[in-house]
Amino acid sequence: MADQYQDDHSLFPVPARLLDPAQCPKPFVSSLDQYKKMYRQSIDNPEEFFGKLANELLTWSKPFHTVRHGGLEHGDVAWFLEGELNACYNCVDRHALTDPNKVAIIYEADEPNQAERITYGELLRKVCQLAGVLRAHGIRKGDTVAIYMPMIPEAVVALLACARVGALHSVIFAGFSAEALRDRVHDASSRLVLTTDQGKRGGKTIETKRIVDEALKTCPKVETVIVCQRTGAEVPMKDGRDYWWGDEVFKHPFYTPAEDINSEDPMFLLYTSGSTGSPKGVMHTTGGYMLGAAATFKYVFDYHPGDIFACMADVGWITGHTYIVYGPLALGATTVLFESLPTYPTPSRYWELIAEHKITQFYTAPTAIRALRRLGDEWLEGHDLSSLRIIGTVGEPINPEAWHWYNEKVGKGRCAVVDTYWQTETGSHIITPLPGAITTKPGSATFPFFGIDIAILDPVTGKELVGNDVTGVLAVKRPWPSMARTIYNNHYRFMETYLKPYAGYYFTGDGATRDKDGYIWVRGRVDDVINVSGHRLSTAEIESALIMHHSVAETAVVGAPDDVTGQSINAFVCLKPGVPVYSMDLTRELISQVRKVIGPFAAPKKVYLVEDLPKTRSGKLMRRILRKIVAGESDSLGDISTLADPSVVEALINKVNPPP
Ligand code: WTA
């Protein structure tokens, strides 16, 4: 079965340099045997394994006695139950107290050569002042705060200040539209929003404040907006609601204590797309999430003091939460915050960044690698990348061509490549190579992280497919510390989405193969989620954006394979009677409709105006057929006899691939 995929089974052992103490710090896990032994311990005795790790990596203001409680069957997972710890204290105070001059954040601004460094001492002062602002505006433990900010240090300060006072942050990626922002602010009942006047990205201006104003027109619960100045542009300020960040923080002292937080107190919400309905506010709690972030940061990125770590994600996504902010700062690392784009002002930007800051671990998405590879190797020339030790990818399956290019051109064959598989819901990496221990295969995320008990299930029967050389849906058999605990205000939906589809298992929504050597290959989503440049989008959400347009009668959205973005959004649209089908303007309008309702990154690449959609006699849409057509696999559509009108298919094929 696995043979239907053309996997690259070439083996890449750990580069010798990583195991040579004269050249690199000794990896924490430096052999396959050591990995296996530790993995066994984590599965056989999770209480001991994670209890020890939690005390080693985190500082608890009150110790825990119970390591683990509950399970996947009842959806009542809890870790380190009696323990108390503050995430902000763990990320800032404890390092500021011992080494205040250590650089916590290197902020690489949109324009090159304007980097700023923020030490742990400064970070603590900034975070305490903003925590004071939050408290002064009535924010207390358990409240939710919306953050709609570009990639500036204050965004990190914002997350940490929320954690300090025990408020749940709900970061909304600054590429979301006003409507999408409104829905998320509303769903989380946020009373306070943190934003900026504008943002800067790739030389372009993002109108963050204007978008917030638009969103808040219909969010009566929001009482306060704190506006940080990024560009200094003049923006409208609403009396009694809007306050300048700069003015507010000056009112508050440089130190204010961190709130005592129980391990299972909620820490943040992050909205993500599922296969149905509205986006869900995935909720993480404090102790388990922090342990997952810290442990994977230590072992997967093999973090050693002195390393300079750079994750290219946006703080608006889980990757930014865990690997720009919480993982690195928990261990007192120096983390790079990159405001720009890999191609701005030229496609050398990443390589300049690595050379200038002597980055040791670099983490990006396959889509960026593919895009840069296409632009040509000359952009890499003349940049000293010798500081790199570990290079990572995340967000989507990486194709072997991109993997090889990354390994050879960026890693120069002397770095470990870690293809890390995880999700918003998993909180931290769950399947990934450990750089000093695992022989990799290009395109495989290899083996589970500690404590992750993987299962591959038959999608129909739900039976576990044991042994090697099996393909099915990817699930996890037992709880791990950083798994999401619920969906905000909707535990029922949490159960239905993740724990009920296969009773007793956490269902990832991805398909996967365990190959003949036991390596895991993640194949992509098996539900109606599309992954465009590592952005997770639900077909249902895009469809409901389209259907709001007055000309649209019906629509179906599917993902098509795309060389650069992984998948692209293809929309089939049936118009209402009387609306002329051949109109470029209408196509443009529909695309801008999606930009408006969700955000520019969700805009369909192709819109097909069609007469009919393929449906069964009972009226069920057969997306499978649309997926095949856009993938150029019209010759293998399978059984179409159940369609109400099989002739629809012919018309669709001609639409997508017009005959010459
Ligand atoms: C996909 C991002 C293959 C997968 C951290 C998952 C991957 C979804 C990989 C989660 C990988 C992420 N190999 N697929 N290394 N990493 N994915 O929640 O489909 O934005 O379910 O979290 O991205 O996306 P999310």
Give residue 5's pLDDT.
79
pLDDT in tens, 92-123: 999 999 999 999 999 999 999 999 999 999 99
Q: Which residue's CA is the closest to the ligand 1 atom numbered 6?
A: 423
* CA-based nearest residue to 310, from 251, 264, 363: 363
Q: For the chain, what's the residue count?
A: 660
Q: Indicate the range of 383-392, 471-480, 545-554 predicted with least confidence.
A: 545-554
pLDDT in tens, 195-216: 999 999 999 999 999 999 999 9
DSSP string, 405-440: HIIIIISTT-SEEEEEB--TTT-S-SB---TTT--B
User: pLDDT at residue 40 above 80?
Assistant: yes
With bands split at pLDDT 50, 70 and 90, how would you rate the model's confidence at 583? low
With bands split at pLDDT 50, 70 and 90, how would you rate the model's confidence at 582? low
Angle at 28 between CA 25 and CA 33, to 5 degrees: 125
Residue with tokens 């940080």: 228
Determine the atom of ligand 1 nearest the C-alpha atom of 432: 15
> Rounded to an integer, what distance in angstroms lies between the CA atom of residue 198 and that of residue 200?
7
Question: Up-side HSE of residue 218: CA atoms within 13 Å toward CB?
Answer: 10
Mean pLDDT of the region 350-363: 98
Give residue 581's pLDDT.
65
Cβ–ligand 1 distance for 522 under 6 Å, the answer: yes
**Bridge partner list, 421:** 431
Mean pLDDT of the region 84-92: 98
> Rounded to an integer, what distance in angstroms lies between the CA atom of residue 55 and that of residue 261?
16
Q: Indicate the range of 146-150, 194-198, 430-434, 654-658 predicted with least confidence.
A: 654-658
Cβ–ligand 1 distance for 421 under 6 Å, the answer: yes
> Rounded to an integer, what distance in angstroms lies between the CA atom of residue 544 and that of residue 555?
8
Candidate from 172, 423, 519, 528 with most ligand 1 atoms within 8 A of CB, to mutate: 423
Cβ–ligand 1 distance for 190 under 6 Å, the answer: no
Cβ–ligand 1 distance for 422 under 6 Å, the answer: yes
How far does the centroid of ligand 1 lie from the alpha carbon of residue 449, in Å?
Answer: 15
Give residue 101's pLDDT.
98
Angle at 317 between CA 315 and CA 320, to 5 degrees: 40
> Rounded to an integer, what distance in angstroms lies between the CA atom of residue 428 and that of residue 482?
7
Cβ–ligand 1 distance for 482 under 6 Å, the answer: no
Cβ–ligand 1 distance for 199 under 6 Å, the answer: no
How far does the centroid of ligand 1 lie from the alpha carbon of residue 395, in Å?
Answer: 4
Question: What percent of the chain stands above pLDDT 90?
Answer: 90
> Rounded to an integer, what distance in angstroms lies between the CA atom of residue 472 and that of residue 511?
6
Rounded to the nearest angstrom, the gap between the alpha carbon of residue 60 and the centroid of all alpha carbons in its chain is 27
Cβ–ligand 1 distance for 531 under 6 Å, the answer: yes
How far does the centroid of ligand 1 lie from the alpha carbon of residue 399, in Å?
Answer: 14
With bands split at pLDDT 50, 70 and 90, how would you rate the model's confidence at 176? very high
Give residue 504's pLDDT.
95
Q: Which residue's CA is the closest to the ligand 1 atom numbered 10?
A: 423
Neighbour tally for 137: CB within 10 Å = 16
For residue 253, give every residue at least 6 positions away whose Cβ sits within 8 Å of its Cβ, in sequence order, or none: 128, 129, 132
Cβ–ligand 1 distance for 392 under 6 Å, the answer: no
> Rounded to an integer, what distance in angstroms lies between the CA atom of residue 177 and that of residue 287?
33
Determine the atom of ligand 1 nearest the C-alpha atom of 431: 15
How far does the centroid of ligand 1 lie from the alpha carbon of residue 250, in Å?
Answer: 41
Mean pLDDT of the region 492-521: 97
Q: Which two tokens stand for residue 528?
A: 């109606």
**Bridge partner list, 270:** 282
How far does the centroid of ligand 1 lie from the alpha carbon of residue 489, in Å?
Answer: 24
**Bridge partner list, 464:** 457
DSSP string, 49-72: HHHHHHHHH---SB--S--EE--T
pLDDT in tens, 251-260: 999 999 999 9
The more confidently predicted of residues 637 and 88 is: 88
Q: Which residue's CA is the closest to the ligand 1 atom numbered 8?
A: 423
User: pLDDT at residue 3 above 80?
Assistant: no
Candidate from 422, 424, 520 with most ligand 1 atoms within 8 A of CB, to mutate: 422
Q: Which residue's CA is the closest to the ligand 1 atom numbered 22?
A: 423
User: pLDDT at residue 1 above 60?
Assistant: no
Cβ–ligand 1 distance for 446 under 6 Å, the answer: no
What does the buried/exposed string (b/e) look like for 174-210 if buried means 16 or more CB atoms within 10 Å of the residue's CB?
A: bbbbbbbbbbbbbbbebbbbbbbbbbbbeeeebbbbe
What does the buried/exposed string (b/e) look like for 463-496 if buried means 16 or more CB atoms within 10 Å of the residue's CB?
A: ebbeeeebbbbbbbbbbbbbbbbbbbebeebbbe
Q: Indicate the range of 288-292, 347-351, 469-473, 633-637 predicted with least confidence.
A: 633-637
How far does the centroid of ligand 1 lie from the alpha carbon of residue 537, in Å?
Answer: 12
* CA-based nearest residue to 46, from 476, 495, 519, 474: 476
Give residue 534's pLDDT.
87
Per residue, what are the HEC states of 593-633? HHHHHCCHHHCCCEEEEECCCCEECCCCECHHHHHHHHCCC
Question: With left for phi above 0 and alpha for psi between -120 and 50, is residue 641 left, alpha or beta?
Answer: alpha
Cβ–ligand 1 distance for 567 under 6 Å, the answer: no
Average pLDDT score over the chain: 95
* CA-based nearest residue to 268, from 186, 168, 396, 375: 168
> Rounded to an integer, what distance in angstroms lies between the CA atom of residue 456 and that of residue 464?
6
> Rounded to an integer, what distance in angstroms lies between the CA atom of residue 560 and that of residue 565?
10
Cβ–ligand 1 distance for 445 under 6 Å, the answer: yes
Determine the atom of ligand 1 nearest the C-alpha atom of 420: 15
Cβ–ligand 1 distance for 525 under 6 Å, the answer: yes
Give residue 660's pLDDT.
82
User: pLDDT at residue 2 above 50?
Assistant: no
ipTM of the complex: 0.99
Give how far Cα 546 sits from Cα of 155, 556, 576, 579, Å.
32, 9, 13, 15
Contact (CB, 8 A) for 383 and 331 = no
With bands split at pLDDT 50, 70 and 90, how would you rate the model's confidence at 579? confident
**Bridge partner list, 390:** 361, 416
Neighbour tally for 619: CB within 10 Å = 7
Q: Which residue's CA is the closest to the ligand 1 atom numbered 11?
A: 421
With bands split at pLDDT 50, 70 and 90, how would you rate the model's confidence at 4? low
User: pLDDT at residue 491 above 80?
Assistant: yes
> Rounded to an integer, what distance in angstroms lies between the CA atom of residue 626 and that of residue 618?
18
For residue 360, give every residue at least 6 positions away whose Cβ sits within 8 Å of its Cβ, in sequence order, or none: 307, 308, 309, 387, 388, 389, 390
